[in-house]
Structure 1
Amino acid sequence: MDHTKHRRLLALTLSWAATRALMVWLLVHSASPLLGGGRVAREVWGLYHHWYGVLVHGGLPAHDPLWQYPPGAGPVLLAPVLLPGLTYFQAFVALTLVADAVTVLALARAGARPGHSLLGAALWTGGLPLLLHIPLVRYDVQVTALAVLSLVTLSRSPRAGGAFAALGALVKVWPALVLLGTPRGRESGSAWRSAAVTGAAALALLALAFRDPLAFLLQQGARGVQIESLGGTALSLASHAGWTGTARYRYGAMEFVGPYVSSVAHVSLALTAAAFGLLVLWRIRARRRTRATPYDAALSAVLLFTVTSRVISPQYMIWLLGLAAVCLASQHTTQRPVAVLLLAATAVSTVIYPMHYWEVISCSWTGTTLMVVRNGLLAWAAGLSYLRLWRSGTAPAEAGARSCPQARHEGRTPASL
């Protein structure tokens, strides 16, 4: 490795240490009204710790309407027991930092390979602190780490990539989407078979360890329209035109209740189905790929499902930053403009929560404008991501060959999807 990369890796390490120290400092001082008055950290010492008390007795909190997670979340929430010298809260934060470090290490190792870049590791290192201390007190960093590991190992070991994706899906469902862009043929089959076997084996073990492992499916169907979703933004705008609904705390989030809310929820579900159809269409029509296609497809898929969801919590930005970082780790990615939009959306998300969340809840013009800007950026990013993915996969043969110069140099044409 040349001296330039050594210096960049050193700078990356120092930046990670400094930004994470700042995030911990913000967490320690999170009682400040500007940082949410302690609401952000309450998820761990209130909700997660409560569930921990149920999990240690061999059951999942199946009758708790706030429990909406697959059974793989159980081991993650039990993991703080591995650090007996710390409180549950301290151990959870420490393990989140470990998962964060694993993520940046995986991105740095991937970026150090020929045809790759350290830009992905830099995006993760500098982008995550835009969410202030929120990532330290949500288990989305752990889930994102599994998705990142799946993607960066996929080209070298499809079986390992499939296994990591399955484990991530058992923790929070969405990592199942990261296998969407695997090339057709042996590599794709190996990844999907590994995911199926790993998922089935892990689910069987979880069913032995916990009662009611699939209870979360019943809770998902009852969810409404969260105030931070695109549907919620539409209702917030409608409130300024006379809509009479209000926001209430339901199922672990602030959701709108009132006239037409169920219709908006159904529209969101229909848009999610349409997004799935677009992804299937791309998969069928795409004939060209670069080494970054699996990464680009994963980001596009999760973005589309995020913007059409009935719920867009602040921690969802952690997923998108992680996937964008994997894309930028490859010099062949088509998603660089999308990553810029996601960084902007992440910064606005922090202004919304925790800084001005009551403005969003009350549907003031300030809160509504912030939501229009943030969700407008996300919708723009989703549309642009899919468009660039589509164009890269359906380009003429000559353009496809130019998009993968390394493959041409090695005397072979880009593999079809």
Structure 2
Amino acid sequence: MVWVANHHDEQQDCNKQHHMHHKFYQGSIDKGSLDFTMTPAATPPPSSLAFSQSQLRPADRVGLWVWWFACHLILLGVLATTEIPEGDIRYYFSSLRGEFPDGLTEYPAIGTWPAHVVFWFSHRSTEHYLAMFGGFCMVIDGLFFVLLLNSGAARSRKSQILAAGFWAVFAVCTGHVSVQRLDLVPAVLVGVAALLLFYYPRISSALLGTATMIKLWPGVLAIGLVRGYKRKATYWCIAVFVGTIIGLSALVAMISGVQRLLSPFTYQGVRGLQIESIAATPMIVRGAFGAAAEYSVTYAASKSYEITGPGVDAAIMVTNVLMFATLVFAVAWALRGFVKDTWSPDGSLIMWVTLIFMLLVANKVFSPQYILWLGPIMAVVLLRTNGSKYPLALAWLMLLMAVLGQIVYPYYYDDVVHPGTGTLGVIGLAIRNGLMVVSMIVSLMWAISHRPAANAQANA
């Protein structure tokens, strides 16, 4: 890759920036600020390895590993004693075995590669595949936990314990989707990209490009790579991100053909309003409490349950407007950083979290596994927190939404799918989606209150 040849120059630039960061913050930090900007005095110089300067004590590590194993044993216990739907993971297996000619074409081709790898080792056995896929997801979960334990980007020992503890319990709160969905892979890649943003921004850019080729949504986070227009790092990071996408696209086209490369975009174009989406919530609630005859829920060609009836077309229009507004907001943030040179890695983390919430609220689709998008990036945010109320509030909201998501699916999904048959699942859905809107507002407040002027000086 192009960043390897220039790694030495990048490290020299980073060393200079570290010296200026230290000098600036030692003399002018605002103790009363709710901001979440870098504190280089507590961070090792970028010339050191990003994952070698953990602030944890040996006893901390033992305690956190006990916590991680305890959380995952609880998760395994729930999976073993509760009837959990395995439709998605069986769909992966059946598609790979050739039972569905167009199976998995709604996913980007690279996004299905982990499923292929597990299939190769499963001896074409359904039972082996189910077990091995869950094991694969737990390994990914555990590897990210190791990175959190050993990261040198932690602001303090307390923040490192908080981040690792959050990530361990996140799996329990999300339940079966944490070990039965492909979405975990791009989410963790975004989390690793966030960690590397502090030390190796070009590698971070490559990982973000790879995550985009796996699940599309991380592409909007590329605005967090944009620094000032006078900085070479701006153009290097963007070039690496775009180059990664072009390279992987060419690889997919050569292996699977251009049609397979473009199939996820064709699939997205025919989607209606999915029943779990934020925009569909008013109709779902209305159908559950007296207007069931006015609405119809069907399993659509998009391979999801969609709702039709009064107000649905207007709701879809609202989602289109909100998605456009999200993209405008992202571009405006990037342009401000490009012109005024206000970039900082912590500022990018804030914006990444905010954009993910905005995407989830604006999307006409919301599936149970989408909550996984938030976990890894939130763990990195907690790694950097200085006690600000914003990240702590968002972390608690995420865990609560994850638990509510389990109430909705799988336990009371029939209440949502069949209007008028039950209310508990609908109430859980309404609360979960309401909290998602609240979380978006909180993250927007956090992003707006962030002080770009201080970041500009720190990154001069």
Quickly name the TM-score band, shorter chain normalised.
0.7 to 0.9
Q: Does 1:20 align with 2:61?
A: no
Q: Is the Cα contact below 8 Å between 1:230 and 1:307 reproduced in 2?
A: yes
Matches within 5 A, 1:216-235: 216-235=264-283
Q: Does 1:215 align with 2:270?
A: no
Q: 1:74 to 1:321 in 2, by over 3 A?
A: closer
Q: Is the Cα contact below 8 Å between 1:226 and 1:253 reproduced in 2?
A: yes
Q: 1:326 to 1:188 in 2, by over 3 A?
A: farther
Shift of 1:187: 3.0
Q: Does 1:44 align with 2:89?
A: yes
Measure the CA separation in 2 of the matches of 1:368 and 1:195.
Answer: 41
Q: Is the Cα contact below 8 Å between 2:112 and 2:182 reproduced in 1?
A: no
Q: Is the Cα contact below 8 Å between 1:79 and 1:92 reproduced in 2?
A: no
For 1:232-289, what per-residue CA distance to the aligned partner results, in whole angstroms no more than 9, with x for missing partners? 1021133346471121122222211234423321221111111222222333346545
- The equivalent of 1:169 in structure 2 is 212
Measure the CA separation in 1 of the matches of 2:402 and 2:112.
Answer: 28
Q: Is the Cα contact below 8 Å between 1:150 and 1:164 reproduced in 2?
A: yes
Q: Secondary structure at the match of 2:107?
A: coil
Shift of 1:114: 5.2
Instruction: Choose which of 288, 293, 296 in structure 2 pairs with 1:246.
Output: 296
Shift of 1:96: 1.1
Shift of 1:291: 4.1
Measure the CA separation in 2 of the matches of 1:54 and 1:150.
Answer: 34
- The equivalent of 1:404 in structure 2 is none
Q: Secondary structure at the match of 2:246?
A: helix
Q: Secondary structure at the match of 2:297?
A: strand
Measure the CA separation in 2 of the matches of 1:218 and 1:140.
Answer: 20
Q: 1:2 to 1:272 in 2, by over 3 A?
A: closer
Q: Is the Cα contact below 8 Å between 2:96 and 2:119 reproduced in 1?
A: no
Shift of 1:155: 2.0
Q: 1:393 to 1:312 in 2, by over 3 A?
A: farther
- The equivalent of 1:406 in structure 2 is none
Measure the CA separation in 2 of the matches of 1:329 and 1:52.
Answer: 38
Computing the radius of gyration from Cα coordinates, the structure with the larger value is: 2
Shift of 1:362: 2.9
Measure the CA separation in 2 of the matches of 1:285 and 1:267.
Answer: 27
Q: Secondary structure at the match of 1:73?
A: helix
Shift of 1:365: 3.7
TM-score for both structures, normalised by structure 1: 0.85
Matches within 5 A, 1:224-373: 224-239=272-287, 240=289, 242=291, 244-250=294-300, 251-285=302-336, 288=342, 290-331=344-385, 334-363=390-419, 364-373=422-431
Shift of 1:316: 0.8
- The equivalent of 2:434 in structure 1 is 376
Q: Secondary structure at the match of 2:106?
A: coil
Q: Does 1:136 align with 2:191?
A: no
TM-score for both structures, normalised by structure 2: 0.77
Q: What is the letter of the counterpart of residue 268 of structure 1?
A: T
Q: Is the Cα contact below 8 Å between 2:153 and 2:195 reproduced in 1?
A: no
Q: Secondary structure at the match of 1:248?
A: strand
Measure the CA separation in 2 of the matches of 1:199 and 1:2.
Answer: 32
Q: 1:289 to 1:206 in 2, by over 3 A?
A: closer
Q: 1:193 to 1:285 in 2, by over 3 A?
A: closer
For 1:351-384, what per-residue CA distance to the aligned partner results, in whole angstroms no more than 9, with x for missing partners? 2111211122234443332222111111010111
Measure the CA separation in 2 of the matches of 1:24 and 1:341.
Answer: 24
Measure the CA separation in 2 of the matches of 1:254 and 1:285.
Answer: 40
Q: What is the letter of the counterpart of residue 206 of structure 1?
A: V
Q: Secondary structure at the match of 2:294?
A: coil
- The equivalent of 2:233 in structure 1 is 187
Q: 1:291 to 1:215 in 2, by over 3 A?
A: closer
Q: Is the Cα contact below 8 Å between 1:23 and 1:132 reproduced in 2?
A: yes
Measure the CA separation in 1 of the matches of 2:266 and 2:153.
Answer: 44
Q: Secondary structure at the match of 2:458?
A: coil
Measure the CA separation in 1 of the matches of 2:399 and 2:152.
Answer: 20
What number of residue pairs does the alignment pair up?
388
For 1:324-369, what per-residue CA distance to the aligned partner results, in whole angstroms no more than 9, with x for missing partners? 1111111357533222221221121112111211122234443332
Measure the CA separation in 2 of the matches of 1:285 and 1:112.
Answer: 26
For 1:292-322, what per-residue CA distance to the aligned partner results, in whole angstroms no more than 9, with x for missing partners? 2121111111110011111111111111122
Measure the CA separation in 1 of the matches of 2:199 and 2:382.
Answer: 18
Shift of 1:115: 5.2
Measure the CA separation in 2 of the matches of 1:315 and 1:106.
Answer: 23
Measure the CA separation in 1 of the matches of 2:248 and 2:440.
Answer: 32
Sequence identity (%) = 21
Q: Secondary structure at the match of 1:255?
A: strand
Q: Is the Cα contact below 8 Å between 1:289 and 1:393 reproduced in 2?
A: no
Q: Is the Cα contact below 8 Å between 2:107 and 2:215 reproduced in 1?
A: yes
Q: Is the Cα contact below 8 Å between 2:56 and 2:149 reproduced in 1?
A: no
- The equivalent of 2:247 in structure 1 is 201
Structure 1: give runs of 5+ residues left out of the alignment. Answer: 32-37, 56-60, 402-411
- The equivalent of 1:88 in structure 2 is 129
Measure the CA separation in 1 of the matches of 2:98 and 2:236.
Answer: 37
Measure the CA separation in 2 of the matches of 1:72 and 1:3.
Answer: 36
More displaced 10-residue stretch of structure 1: 225-234 or 364-373: 364-373
Q: Secondary structure at the match of 2:279?
A: helix
Q: Is the Cα contact below 8 Å between 2:298 and 2:307 reproduced in 1?
A: yes
Instruction: Choose which of 124, 129, 143 in structure 2 pairs with 1:102.
Output: 143
Shift of 1:138: 0.6
